């Protein structure tokens, strides 16, 4: 059965042929031919070493490119999510809201890190005749006091 054509298979076949020719040259006591074949075999081994190094180098580059491809795909995914999120957010100073969601998002986190972090309502009160709601961000620890909107207090 014929071996499939591979670099390794070809190298093995070539190596075997050179060794066989060296053996024949020795048997025929042809010193010149045996020396030439030894030189040829040495060159062949060096060439194979260089080829193996090149293959290893190409494999490393392939792995690096695969990793870069994954990182870029992740970056594209993050950017798409960021663009989608930005399109969904509605700025009602000083807070951000998302359509269909009455709980506001932290403006510091959204404008800084592009992260949608819900604020926590921790009460309300009337100040100078204005009803205000207090909001707290668990991530950046900022506090916000805003006039209570009818839409947010009674959705």
| Interface positions with Zn ion (CB under 5 A) | 106, 108-109, 117, 137, 139-140
18 or 106: CB nearest Zn ion:
106
22 or 137: CB nearest Zn ion:
137
Residue labelled with tokens 């054509």: 5
Contact 102, 151 (CB under 8 A): yes
What is the closest distance, in whole angstroms, from the C-beta atom of residue 103 to Zn ion in the complex? Answer: 13
What is the closest distance, in whole angstroms, from the C-beta atom of residue 96 to Zn ion in the complex? Answer: 10
What is the closest distance, in whole angstroms, from the C-beta atom of residue 155 to Zn ion in the complex? Answer: 22
Contact 120, 154 (CB under 8 A): no
CB atoms within 10 A of CB 105: 23
CA separation for the pair 144, 39 (Å, rounded): 83
Residue 132, SS3 per DSSP: strand
120 or 139: CB nearest Zn ion:
139
**How is residue 103 written in tokens?**
């709980």
What is the closest distance, in whole angstroms, from the C-beta atom of residue 95 to Zn ion in the complex? Answer: 11
Residue 121 CA: distances (Å) to CA of 32, 54, 140: 95, 63, 15
Residue labelled with tokens 């951000």: 96
Contact 75, 99 (CB under 8 A): no
44 or 144: CB nearest Zn ion:
144
What is the closest distance, in whole angstroms, from the C-beta atom of residue 127 to Zn ion in the complex? Answer: 23
57 or 143: CB nearest Zn ion:
143
């Amino acid at each position: 059965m014929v071996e499939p054509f591979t670099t390794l298979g070809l190298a093995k076949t070539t190596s075997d042929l050179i060794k066989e020719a060296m053996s024949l040259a020795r048997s025929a006591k042809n010193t010149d031919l045996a020396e030439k074949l030894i030189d040829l075999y040495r060159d062949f081994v060096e060439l194979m070493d260089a080829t193996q190094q090149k293959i290893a180098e190409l494999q490393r580059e392939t792995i690096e490119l695969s990793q870069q491809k994954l990182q870029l795909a992740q970056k594209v995914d993050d950017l798409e999510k960021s663009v989608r999120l930005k399109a969904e957010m509605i700025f009602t100073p000083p807070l951000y809201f998302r359509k269909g969601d009455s709980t506001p998002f932290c403006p510091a986190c959204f404008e800084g890190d592009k992260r949608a972090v819900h604020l926590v309502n921790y009460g309300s009160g009337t100040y100078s005749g204005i009803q205000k709601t207090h909001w707290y961000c668990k991530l950046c620890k900022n506090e916000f006091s805003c006039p209570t909107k009818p839409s947010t207090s009674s959705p």
